[in-house]
């Protein structure tokens, strides 16, 4: 296992800045520990909570930018839907996003082949109109993003040792 290290001063400063900054300290430390990018080769170097947090980061970035259609088109469908990400969130007592991912998984199975195809920008934009079933899930995420991000921050704060070793400067 890679040792993920967070400086206490960085953590204290981030806590003052808000939940996004607090989560960001851990994400940055995890990325640094694995050389910047999660790959099949380095997944085994992290624990399940660290991988779940990186999964949340991907989900959050993709959904805030372009929704589930974009997430799937950008190739993250297998990572989000085939791994036990939704189950892990349920274990973190985050039933809302867990259910959302299970619901999106059903749509992913139904439409993935078409959405994952290479296409022009114009064809990509048309995917949003062709698969409106994802809109409700995208809206659900946007409406709950702040609360769910806060839940993630609280989970990390309650289980610091699962995410990083906190050191004095």
Provide mean pLDDT across the span 128-150: 97
pLDDT above 90 coverage of the chain, percent:
94
Using alpha carbons, select from 78, 82, 57, 72 the residue that is nearest to residue 137. Answer: 72
pLDDT tens for 59-101 read: 999 999 999 999 999 999 999 999 999 999 999 999 999 999 9
Distance CA 89, CA 92 (A): 5
- pTM of the entire predicted model: 0.95
Tokens linked to 19: 């939940």
Q: What tens digit of pLDDT does each residue of 100-132 get?
A: 999 999 999 999 999 999 999 999 999 999 999
Eight-state DSSP code of residue 17: H
On whether the CB atoms of residues 107 and 68 are closer than 8 A, the answer is: yes
**Residue 144: is its pLDDT beyond 80?**
yes
Predicted confidence at residue 40, as pLDDT, reads 84
* pLDDT tens-digit series, residues 13-57: 999 999 999 999 999 999 999 999 888 889 999 999 999 999 999
pLDDT at position 140 is 98
Q: What is the spatial distance between Cα 42 and Cα 38, in angstroms, rounded to a whole number?
A: 6
Mean pLDDT of the chain: 96
- Would you say residue 169 has pLDDT above 80? no
**What are the structure tokens assigned to 157, written together?**
């704060």
Domains and CATH numbers, the chain: 5-167 (1.20.1420.60)
């Amino acid at each position: 296992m890679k040792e993920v290290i967070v400086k206490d001063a960085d953590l204290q400063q981030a806590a003052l800045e808000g939940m996004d900054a607090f989560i960001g300290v851990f994400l940055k430390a995890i990325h640094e520990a694995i050389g910047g990018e999660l790959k099949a080769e380095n997944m085994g170097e992290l624990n399940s909570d660290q991988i779940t947090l990186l999964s949340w980061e991907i989900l959050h970035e993709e959904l805030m930018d372009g929704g589930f259609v974009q997430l799937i088109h950008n190739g993250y469908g297998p990572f989000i839907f085939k791994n036990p990400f939704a189950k892990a969130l349920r274990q973190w007592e985050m039933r809302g996003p867990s259910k959302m991912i299970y619901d999106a998984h059903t749509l992913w199975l139904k439409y993935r082949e078409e959405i994952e195809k290479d296409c022009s920008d114009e064809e990509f934009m048309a995917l949003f109109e062709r698969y409106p079933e994802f809109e409700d899930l995208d809206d659900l995420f946007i409406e709950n993003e702040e609360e769910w991000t806060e839940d993630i921050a609280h989970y990390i704060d309650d289980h610091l040792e699962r995410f990083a070793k906190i050191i004095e400067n």
